[in-house]
Structure 1
Amino acid sequence: MIIEKVIGNVEKVSTEGRHIEKVYLSSDDLVKRIQRVTTDHGKEVGIRLKEPKDLIDGDILYMDDRNMIVVSVTSDDLLVLRPVTIKQMGEIAHQLGNRHLPAQFEENVMLVQYDYLVEELLEQLGVPYSREERKVKKAFRHIGHSHG
């Protein structure tokens, strides 16, 4: 089976009465338009998306009257930052931006993929953080940039 488009997302489409098979992907794999994956029931699926769109957690790759194949993102090793002041937030955002590290935001926390150097920086700056295994909905996306 070759998947060429995402049908929808389980947050907006009813799954009631359908058997759900999951395709487990790392957040890094969400940006790949072409890949071969295996469902949790052992079915091989080819993904060849026609649109340049990142996959997100809960995307429906296949659906009929009885079955669905859904993307499920595996947990990442993350640093969860909880800056206390706007100054602290600005300082850490500036430092991470200089390193071109992608970040995501959920409610009042900033998420970055674990890196021991970033952890040392957080310690030096006194930014409250924790290291957690956490599932993100979308890929960590690097923004193209050069200092040319």
Structure 2
Amino acid sequence: MIIEKVVGNIETGDMRALHMERVYLESDQLVKRIQRVVTDHGKELGIRLKDQQDLVDGDILYMDEKNMIVVSVKDDDLLTIMPTSIQQMGDIAHQLGNRHLPAQFEGDEMLVQYDYLVEELLQQLSIPYKREKRKVKQAFRHIGHSHD
């Protein structure tokens, strides 16, 4: 089966009565428009998205009257950063920006993929953080740039 578009997301509709198969993806796979995957029931699928959109956790790849196939993102190894002041937030945001590390925000927390150098930096700056396995809703996207 070839999937060419996302038909919805389980967070926006009532789909509880349907049989659900899951496709487990690493967060960096969410940005790939073409890939081959296998569901948790062993069904092989080809994904070839026509639209320029990233997959997100809960996306429905296929649905009929009884069955659906849903994207489920695996946990990432993250540093969850919890600055206690605007000064700490500015300091760490500046440092991470200089390293071109993508970050995500959930409430008052900044999420970055684990990097031992960032962990050492957080310790040096005395910025509260924790290392944890956690699911992110979307991929960490690196943004291109130049220093011209």
> Same fold judged by TM-score > 0.5?
yes
- Runs ≥4 residues deviating over 6 A: none
Distance 2:4 2:118 in 1: 38
* More displaced 10-residue stretch of structure 1: 14-23 or 74-83: 14-23
Aligned match of 2:115: 115
| TM-fit CA distance, 1:17 | 1.6
One-letter code of the match for 1:131?
Answer: R
Length-normalised TM-score, structure 1: 0.99
Distance 1:130 1:147 in 2: 32
Within 5 Å, give how 1:92-107 maps onto structure 2.
92-107=92-107
One-letter code of the match for 1:84?
Answer: T
Distance 2:73 2:16 in 1: 21
Aligned match of 1:45: 45
Distance 2:12 2:26 in 1: 22
Distance 2:112 2:16 in 1: 35
One-letter code of the match for 2:77?
Answer: D
| TM-fit CA distance, 1:69 | 0.2
Length-normalised TM-score, structure 2: 0.99
| TM-fit CA distance, 1:147 | 1.1
What are structure 2's unaligned runs of at least 5 residues?
none
Aligned match of 1:65: 65
Distance 2:42 2:16 in 1: 22
One-letter code of the match for 2:82?
Answer: R
Aligned match of 2:87: 87
Within 5 Å, give how 1:6-25 maps onto structure 2.
6-25=6-25
SS in 2 for 1:92: helix
SS in 2 for 1:123: helix
Distance 2:40 2:140 in 1: 24
Distance 2:61 2:14 in 1: 14
What are structure 1's unaligned runs of at least 5 residues?
none
CA RMSD in angstroms comes to 0.5
